[in-house]
Amino acid sequence: MGGSYDVILVLHPFRDNVREFQIMVRPLEALDAEYLLGTEGLFNPKTDTALIVLRFSAETAKRLGAYTIHLFAQRSGLPMIVPAKLTPKQRRRFFIEHLTASYNVYVQLYPSADEPYPLVERTLLTLSGHLETIPYMEPPADFDIERAVPLFNAQLEQKDSRRPRRTQPPWHRLDPVG
């Protein structure tokens, strides 16, 4: 089985919030060696938006399930894009019209035990290192990240799930031992 399952973290506005984003991605540190094939970082200076692609193997996605992967990624608290959850039209619009047309800074990194920072944090820092060479551009006043990209919310996915949910733990019916 080949391929990958991607989850894309959206960091906006990026330039003035790199330190905060660095703190936010730290809960993803455990994904490194065991789950991630690699990461990609992209930056659009016109909208001051960065994306970090978390690339999971298809085998990992099958073993853990998409829902678990979404919960892992959501630990950062950052908005996400999940290409597998998009319709073909949404995917085409996102990749062709949005991504390839406007993100001109790109980094790609892989897990390494020799690195001092976890992979996602390292991707963020490498991407931010390119900011020194890119002049600041004021984002358009009408730019709205929520309208520009198809954001995904794992909590909404859970609400829409048809899985039965327990409202109380199974032991709530037990009589207290006296």
Q: Is residue 178 part of a domain?
A: no
Contacts (Cβ under 8 Å, ≥6 apart) of 178 = none
Q: Is residue 119 part of a domain?
A: yes
Residue-level pLDDT at 155: 57
- Show the low-confidence residues of the chain (pLDDT under 70): 1-2, 33, 154-178
Residue-level pLDDT at 161: 47
Q: Is residue 48 part of a domain?
A: yes
Q: Is residue 170 part of a domain?
A: no
Q: Is residue 55 part of a domain?
A: yes
- What's the number of CA atoms in the CB half-sphere (13 Å) around residue 157? 16
How far is residue 146's CA from residue 29's CA, in Å, rounded to a whole number? Answer: 26
pTM: 0.84
Q: Is residue 54 part of a domain?
A: yes
Residue-level pLDDT at 157: 55
Residue with tokens 């820092």: 125
- Whether the CB-CB separation of 122 and 130 falls below 8 Å is answered with no
End-to-end CA distance of the chain: 56
Residue-level pLDDT at 156: 55
DSSP structure class, residue 7: E
Provide the Cα torsion 169, 170, 174, 178; round to 10°. -50
How far is residue 157's CA from residue 21's CA, in Å, rounded to a whole number? Answer: 24
Q: Is residue 134 part of a domain?
A: yes
Task: Tell me which residue range forms the domain holding 88.
Answer: 4-138+145-163
Q: Is residue 111 part of a domain?
A: yes
Number of domains observed in the structure of the chain: 1
